[in-house]
């Protein structure tokens, strides 16, 4: 069912309690102060925040940061985020040193129409992750309307993402979640064909639900990354010291059979790049075609798709109408092992297809190689995007009001 959107609210003069995902990486400056090293998640929330502030709402933001254990931790304070948010909004952002109780209540009471307040880290309270009803009620008391724009945590049933909604008559999604659902759910309900899924990463077992769900939707599934070696091993090929799930070869064979039965082409790389030294810029070689006796020597490790696999995957990508990419083709973090992942990213960028990058390392890759602007959608939620693509119901979205 369609969910209530931020556009459907009348927020003027109202206290709007909004869950955002400000779980950003922090570094330490020479003077010991914390500094944000990547503000992508803050920037992703700006449209919803700016919309509410311009509409005259009193905007109360809540988020988690890091994994504080059992109580407040200065290293996980959201104060640096409030400072950076103020710079991005080009206006002051108030900060409350607590997210519930008298300090938070006083900060909210002092808020005027159009002003923005950021509460301290909700995970300073263990009750947050336990979805404690009492804690959720305390949070809810700070607002008149609730908005969730934290897609990255929508797969968690926590107090600030799910429990809090039972205390509001209107629970709406923000613009970021609206966009995520448009591309990861609505767009894939009837995708432009051919629908090509590009899948990488380390383990078949991590992607089993994703593959199974997409076998009912995709026309082609391209498999790279370390997970390809489990499929290749299942076919009897020699993969040397490559990362592999030997206990999952039966699963790999079963997935290949399922794909064939459903008319989906599950495509493995025709060759692989391998090395004797797992270090940046180590010498590498490509196997012969796997179909022609290709093998990775016993003392070498596969670290990327090969040159001919790049041509193979690029040709499939060029024909696509819709592309979903989830997972790198190799160990792209190391220079010299990044050739396949960069080539696939470039091929996607050049494609005329609807281009969706499904979170995690794929997002890092398109940013690293400078292809982010060419993508139609880059998901902000690693685990959340994966679970949505797997066909799972996300608690943080299910809890929102239906239209």
Active site residue ranges = 41, 203, 360, 383
Alpha-carbon distance 219 to 259, whole Å? 10
The angle, 0 to 180 degrees and rounded to 10, between the axes of the packed helices 339-350 and 307-318 is 20
Look at residues 176, 216, 186, 129 and name the one whose alpha carbon lies nearest to residue 395.
129
Alpha-carbon distance 200 to 158, whole Å? 30
Q: Is 354 helix (H, G, I), strand (E, B) or coil?
A: strand
Close Cβ partners of 397 (under 8 Å, ≥ 6 residues apart): 3, 148, 154, 173, 177, 181
Judge if the upstream peptide bond of residue 306 is cis by omega within 30 degrees of 0.
no
The CB-side HSE value for 250 (13 A sphere, CA atoms) comes to: 1
Alpha-carbon distance 72 to 54, whole Å? 33
The Cβ of residue 365 has, within 10 Å, a number of other Cβ atoms equal to 24
The two three-digit tokens of residue 265, written as one number: 């082409």
């Amino acid at each position: 069912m369609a969910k209530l959107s931020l556009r459907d609210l009348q927020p003027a003069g109202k206290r709007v309690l909004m869950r955002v995902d400000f779980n950003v990486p922090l570094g330490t400056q020479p003077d010991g102060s914390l500094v944000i090293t990547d503000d992508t998640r803050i920037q992703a929330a700006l449209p919803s925040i700016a919309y509410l502030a311009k509409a005259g709402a009193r905007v109360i933001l809540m988020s988690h940061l890091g994994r504080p254990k059992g109580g407040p931790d200065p290293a996980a304070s959201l104060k640096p985020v409030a400072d950076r948010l103020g710079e991005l909004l080009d206006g002051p952002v108030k900060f409350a040193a607590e997210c519930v109780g008298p300090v938070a209540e006083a900060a909210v009471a002092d808020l005027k129409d159009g002003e923005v307040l950021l509460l301290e880290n909700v995970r300073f309270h263990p009750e947050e992750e336990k979805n404690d009803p009492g804690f959720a009620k305390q949070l809810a008391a700070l607002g008149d309307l609730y908005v969730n724009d934290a897609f990255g945590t929508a797969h968690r049933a926590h107090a600030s993402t799910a429990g809090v909604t039972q205390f509001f008559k209107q629970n709406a999604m923000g613009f970021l979640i609206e966009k995520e659902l448009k591309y990861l759910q609505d767009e894939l309900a009837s995708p432009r064909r051919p629908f090509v899924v590009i899948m990488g990463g380390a383990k078949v077992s991590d992607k089993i639900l994703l593959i199974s769900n997409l076998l009912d939707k995709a026309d082609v599934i391209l498999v790279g990354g370390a997970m390809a070696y489990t499929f290749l091993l299942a076919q009897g090929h020699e993969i040397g010291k490559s990362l592999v799930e030997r206990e999952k070869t039966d699963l790999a064979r079963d997935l290949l059979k399922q794909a064939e039965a459903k008319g989906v082409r599950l495509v493995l790389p025709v060759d692989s790049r391998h090395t004797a030294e797992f270090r940046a810029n180590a010498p590498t070689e490509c196997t012969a075609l796997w179909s022609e006796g290709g093998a990775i020597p016993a003392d070498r490790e596969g670290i990327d798709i090969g040159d001919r696999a790049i041509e193979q995957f690029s040709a499939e990508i060029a024909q696509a109408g819709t592309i979903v990419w989830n997972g790198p083709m190799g160990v792209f973090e190391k220079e010299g092992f990044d050739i396949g992942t960069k080539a696939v990213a470039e091929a996607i960028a050049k494609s005329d297809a609807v281009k969706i990058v499904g979170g995690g390392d794929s997002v890092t890759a398109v940013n690293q190689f400078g292809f982010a602007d060419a993508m139609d959608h880059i998901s902000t939620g690693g685990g959340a995007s994966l679970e949505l693509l797997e066909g799972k119901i996300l608690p943080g979205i299910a809890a929102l009001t239906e239209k």
